[in-house]
Amino acid sequence: MSRAVLSIGSNMGDRLAHLRSVVDGLADRVVAVSPVYSTAPWGGVDQGDFLNAVVLVDDPELDCLGWLRRGQEFERAAHRVREVRWGARTLDVDVVWCAEPGPSGPVPCVSADPELTLPHPQAHNRAFVLIPWLDVEPEARLTVEGVDRPIREWLAALAADERAGVHRTELSLHRTAGGAAS
């Protein structure tokens, strides 16, 4: 079994529907879903604001690379195009952190592979990842370049304007039994 933290975002088309497609597609693998946040784009490319959330998932059949492949499937289904780095996108699914079973509990995966670098090399710099992650896992920790800290400390270390640019919305990725958004 592996557990993963997936950061999902969209700033094109029906942004909320794109995010919901991930939660719906993961179904019973979902452990927790954060509230939805509105954030300004990151990376300096002129584009519309994003809707972002974090999904905590686990599955006995998937390893860390399996989570990446699953995220890429959702991106393809949303017609994601990769033309401009940090550009507008229908759906972005990033594996931020992943752990696999160890003898005394989950062991965070570390990888420098360019296909899947873990933990995500920029997660500690992005309030739009850290804030929703705190919502689903308040005691989570992240190790960056050998420094292990609670994610709340990584968040506190960010510039005030980075943190202030992440706005909680009233939108929800949960659905009621009848299929309507709650």
E strand residue ranges, 40-145: 50-59, 92-102, 105-108, 111-113, 116-118, 141-144
The owner of tokens 């719906």 is 24
The owner of tokens 């009233």 is 170
pLDDT at res. 6: 97
pLDDT at res. 177: 47
Q: What is the DSSP letter of 2?
A: E
> pLDDT (tens digit, 9 = 90+) per residue, 31-83?
999 999 999 886 666 678 999 999 999 998 999 999 999 999 999 998 877 66
pLDDT at res. 41: 80
> Which residues of the chain carry a pLDDT beneath 70?
1, 42-46, 82-87, 175-182
The owner of tokens 């965070």 is 108
pLDDT at res. 180: 45
Can you spell out the DSSP letters for 41-56? -SSS---PPEEEEEEE
